[in-house]
Amino acid sequence: MIKTFTPDDLLRYLYEDTSVEESKEIEIALLTDERLQQEWEQLQNDFQLLDDLLLEPSEAVTDRIMHWAGAMNMAALRS
C-alpha cells in the first residue's frame, strides 16, 4: 500500500531531511499521486529560484581575507 505524504514531508524530502527509506516511499508516491507531483514541481521551482539568488562578494574582500590568512600562516610558522 502506498503511503500518504503531506507538503511538509515533501519539503523535508526537498532538503534531504528524510531517511533513505522515507525518501524511497516518497519517490514511489510521486509516481502515482498527481497532487503530490504538482506540489513537488512547485517546490523544485522555488528551490531553483532561491538558489539563483546567490550573490558574489567583491574580489577586494576575498583579497583581504587571504591577506589575513597568509599573515596568520606566517605567524604560526615563525612561532
Partner 1 sequence: MRKNGLNDSELVLSYKNGNEEAFKTLVERHKSRIYTAIYLIVKDAEIAEDLLQDSFVKAINTIQSGRYNEEGKFLPWILRIAHNLAIDYFRKQKRYPVVNMEYTNPVFNTVEFSEGTYEDEQIRHETHNLLYQLIAELPDAQRDVLIRRHFMQMSFQEIADATGVSINTALGRMRYALINLRKKMESNNIAYDQNLYPG
Chain residues in the site for partner 1 (CB under 8 A) = 7-8, 11-12, 15, 17, 42-43, 45-58, 61-62, 64-66, 68-70, 72-73, 75-77
Q: What is the three-class DSSP state of 65?
A: helix
Question: What's phi and psi for 27, nearest 5 deg?
Answer: -60, -35
Cell reading at 52: 539563483
Shorter beta-carbon distance to partner 1: residue 34 or 51:
51
CB of 59 to partner 1, least distance (A): 10
Give yes or no for a contact between 5 and 26, defined as CB atoms under 8 angstroms apart: yes
Shortest reach from residue 2's CB to partner 1, in Å: 22
